[in-house]
């Protein structure tokens, strides 16, 4: 028996759904600059919307890093959020980090955990970088299915290394957050309950601690989209995302407060539009030309995969 009754109406676009609920998707105050350092990664996770992997050559150059650092100097970003691929594989990551660290109160690095070493862990600690690590499940099976064989064991070792330099340890002042995406075509578990379970199990089984757990739905783009198509799950997954539309989640969507800059300097409203190639709705094409933050009220372009951000409690 279903625990929720699934809507039977014909498919509606995301834009139509917003109109039906009387909601608009426009910018609020922009406070975060997300920096995508490239597609190179040590893993080829099966849910990756960017299709990052070991074979990808796109990597941010020092010149583009300088444009990013300049933008962070002239514009009041409260947070710089560095992602990839695996930022750890970018040769000039330290240059970028040292450049932006004094310019924003909060600098975040999204780590896949397996490309970390002690030198980087100490560098992050020195610069007080917030770490956000992929950690989908509490078991090796679901973790390897999503991220590859052996990733579970390496991730536990990396979490132990991070704890040893103070990350995720109460009172040390350096934040370690985990991100869990479902290992397949289903929605994420509720965040509060999962965080409690992850905290208890990781502590009991491995003596590992962390600060926050975030649970996000997978976005039907890139490698995840290809898998949905191949496995015959696409239609059902899309219906599920649309049926779970929560108008209250729109206010907190990351595209309302964030700009994403790609490895080549191109600007997007979010990392998913970056993956899909839908350019920044505010009109400026490259970070070099960005003279001011987008005005609140600037419209944000939408696409069908936006439903993944508004399902349940949302993707903020």
Partner 1 sequence: MENYYDPKDLPRFAEIGNDAPELAQKFFDYYGSVFAEGELSEREKALIALAVAHTVQCPYCIDAYTRGCLEKGASLGEMTEALHVVTAIRGGASLVHGIQMRKIAEKLSL
Binding window for ligand SF4 (CB under 6 A); candidates: 78-86, 133-141, 225-233, 269-277: 269-277
Using alpha carbons only, give the angle 161, 94, 150 rounded to the nearest 5 degrees. 40
Q: Which of 88, 218, 273, 287 binds ligand SF4 (CB under 6 A)?
A: 273
- Contact between 272 and ligand SF4 by CB under 6 A: the answer reads yes
Number of neighbours of residue 232 by Cβ within 10 angstroms: 9
Measured from the CB atom, the residue of 152 and 167 that comes closer to partner 1 is 152
Residues that bind partner 1 (CB under 8 A): 1-3, 5-6, 8, 137-139, 141-142, 182, 184, 186-190, 193-194, 197
Q: Is 250 helix (H, G, I), strand (E, B) or coil?
A: helix
- The item of partner 1, ligand SF4, none sharing an interface with residue 63, based on CB under 5 to 8 Å by kind, is none
Element (H, E) at 164: helix 151-164
Q: Is 104 helix (H, G, I), strand (E, B) or coil?
A: coil
Residues 6+ apart with CB under 8 A from 193: none
Q: Which of 113, 137, 253, 259 binds ligand SF4 (CB under 6 A)?
A: 253
Q: Which of 129, 154, 269, 290 binds ligand SF4 (CB under 6 A)?
A: 269
- The item of ligand SF4, partner 1, none sharing an interface with residue 211, based on CB under 5 to 8 Å by kind, is none
Distance between CA atoms of residues 98 and 84, nearest Å: 18
Residues 171-194, buried b or exposed e (16+ Cβ, 10 A)? eeebbbbbbbbbbbbebbbebeeb
Contact 161, 176 (CB under 8 A): no
Question: Tokens 């809507």 map to which residue?
Answer: 7
Closest CA to 74 of 93, 98, 100, 96: 100
Q: Nearest distance from residue 228's CB to partner 1, in Å?
A: 15
- Contact between 255 and ligand SF4 by CB under 6 A: the answer reads yes
Measured from the CB atom, the residue of 135 and 272 that comes closer to ligand SF4 is 272
- The item of partner 1, ligand SF4, none sharing an interface with residue 186, based on CB under 5 to 8 Å by kind, is partner 1
- The item of ligand SF4, partner 1, none sharing an interface with residue 26, based on CB under 5 to 8 Å by kind, is none
Measured from the CB atom, the residue of 67 and 302 that comes closer to ligand SF4 is 302
Residues at the site binding ligand SF4, with contacts judged by CB under 6 A: 253-255, 269-270, 272-273, 300, 302, 305-306, 309
């Amino acid at each position: 028996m279903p625990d929720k009754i699934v809507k039977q109406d014909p498919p509606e676009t995301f834009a139509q759904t917003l109109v039906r609920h009387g909601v608009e998707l426009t910018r609020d105050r922009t406070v975060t600059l997300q920096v995508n350092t490239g597609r190179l990664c040590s893993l080829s996770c099966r849910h990756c919307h960017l299709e990052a992997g070991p074979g990808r050559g796109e990597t941010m150059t020092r010149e583009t890093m300088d444009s990013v650092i300049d933008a962070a100097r002239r514009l009041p970003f409260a947070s710089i959020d560095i992602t990839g691929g695996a930022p750890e594989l970018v040769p000039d990551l330290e240059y970028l980090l040292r450049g932006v660290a004094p310019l924003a109160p909060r600098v975040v690095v999204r780590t896949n955990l397996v490309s970390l070493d002690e030198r980087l862990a100490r560098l992050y600690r020195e610069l007080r970088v917030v770490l956000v690590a992929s950690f989908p499940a509490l078991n090796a099976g679901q973790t390897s299915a999503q991220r590859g064989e052996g990733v579970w064991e390496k991730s536990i070792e990396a979490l132990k290394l991070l704890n040893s330099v103070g990350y995720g340890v109460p009172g040390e002042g350096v934040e370690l957050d985990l991100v869990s995406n479902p290992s397949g075509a289903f929605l994420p578990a509720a965040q509060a309950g999962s965080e409690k379970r992850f905290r208890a199990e990781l502590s009991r089984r491995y003596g590992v601690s962390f600060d926050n757990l975030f649970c996000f739905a997978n976005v039907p783009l890139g490698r995840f989209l290809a898998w949905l198509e191949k496995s015959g799950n696409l239609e059902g997954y899309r219906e599920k995302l649309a049926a779970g539309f929560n108008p209250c989640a729109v206010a907190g969507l990351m595209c309302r407060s964030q700009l994403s800059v790609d490895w080549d300097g191109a600007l997007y409203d979010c990392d998913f539009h970056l993956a899909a190639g839908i350019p920044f709705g505010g009109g400026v094409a490259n970070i070099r030309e960005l003279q001011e933050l987008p005005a609140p009220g600037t419209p944000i372009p939408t696409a069908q995969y936006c439903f993944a951000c508004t399902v349940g409690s949302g993707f903020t």
